[in-house]
């Protein structure tokens, strides 16, 4: 129980909840395991639970009309997804797949809605947190519409670092496990443009690029490319 409470406390959506609130949520939580390349749920599935990543990683995608999957986000430990299921129970708006062996914590929507109905203070805090997440998403969309490609790519890297979706590297810096194609989709640009900009950052000593990963050697210098 204590391990689950500590995990819940690190989730921004639950950060303002009391110890008692977190313990109540932990009681309904269900540990689940998903091997690499296993779907957690598909776009259009019923919204029957939200999930928190305990370990491993997941990718959020949507199907393009042409059949190609577009990456919306890459999620690491501490990330939450499917949280709107707690409120509306509507069909999933995207698909989620484990990109590596993943241990998740499932919060059943029916149990969470029962908690929210019985705890008005908890409900108010969750609505405020969800509103904050929506506002931040809208601000990111607005910024991206005016930013240059380098600024968008640097912004995505900075966002991934700030959301704790990275892992300690063997050397100095922080490693983000992400394919360049996924980084391109998150930044709304082409893989070639991402490759060119990463090469620029690598020459400047800001990052080190490897297969399926980017190690940010000097995170503080990313801000110079975001405007």
| Token pair recorded at residue 129 | 């947190």
Strands (DSSP E) along the chain, which ranges? 30-34, 39-41, 49-55, 58-63, 69-75, 80-81, 95-98, 102-108, 167-168, 174-176, 207-210, 213-216
Looking at residue 165, what is its pLDDT?
46
pLDDT for position 67: 65
pLDDT at 29: 95
Element at 50 (helix H, strand E): strand 49-55
* List of domains in the chain: 2-133 (2.60.120.10), 147-225 (1.10.10.10)
Coil vs helix vs strand at 52? strand
**Please, is 54 exposed, middle or buried when counting C-beta atoms within 10 Å of its C-beta (0-12, 13-18, 19+)?**
middle
How far is the C-alpha of 59 from the C-alpha of 69, rounded, in Å? 11
Check the CA dihedral 130-133-135-138 and report its sign: negative
Closest CA to 39 of 97, 80, 103: 97
pTM over 0.85: no
Other Cβ atoms less than 10 A from the Cβ of 93: the count is 13
CA distance 59 to 55: 13
Tokens of 7: 């995990």
pLDDT at residue 193 in the model: 92
Q: Specify whether the backbone of 183 is left (phi greater than 0), alpha (psi in -120 to 50) or beta.
A: alpha
**pLDDT tens digits along 45-86:** 998 999 999 999 998 988 776 666 777 788 888 889 988 877
Task: List, for the chain, all residue ranges whose pLDDT scores fall below the cut of 50.
Answer: 165-171
Distance CA 24, CA 112 (A): 9
What pLDDT score was predicted for residue 206?
A: 93
Q: Are strands 102-108 and 39-41 parallel, antiparallel or unpaired?
A: unpaired
The pLDDT value given to residue 65: 67
């Amino acid at each position: 129980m204590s391990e689950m409470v500590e995990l819940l406390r690190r989730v921004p959506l639950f950060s303002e909840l009391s110890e008692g609130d977190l313990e109540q949520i932990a009681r309904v939580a269900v540990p689940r395991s998903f091997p690499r390349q296993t779907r957690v749920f598909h776009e259009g599935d019923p919204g029957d639970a939200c999930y928190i990543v305990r370990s491993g990683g997941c990718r959020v995608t949507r199907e393009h009309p042409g059949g190609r999957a577009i990456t919306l986000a890459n999620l690491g430990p501490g990330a939450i997804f499917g949280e709107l299921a707690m409120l509306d129970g509507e069909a999933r708006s995207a698909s989620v797949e484990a990109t590596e062996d993943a241990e998740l914590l499932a919060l059943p929507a029916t149990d969470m809605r029962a908690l929210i109905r019985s705890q008005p203070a908890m409900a108010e805090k969750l609505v405020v947190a969800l509103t904050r997440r929506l506002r931040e998403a809208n601000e990111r969309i607005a910024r991206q519409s005016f930013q240059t490609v380098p600024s968008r790519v640097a912004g995505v890297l900075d966002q991934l670092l700030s959301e704790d979706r990275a892992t300690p590297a063997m050397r100095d810096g922080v490693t983000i496990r992400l394919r360049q194609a996924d980084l391109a989709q998150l930044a709304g640009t082409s893989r070639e443009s991402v490759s060119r900009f990463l090469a620029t950052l690598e020459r400047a000593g800001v990052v080190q690029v490897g297969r399926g990963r980017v190690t940010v050697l000097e995170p503080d210098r990313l801000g110079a490319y975001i405007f």
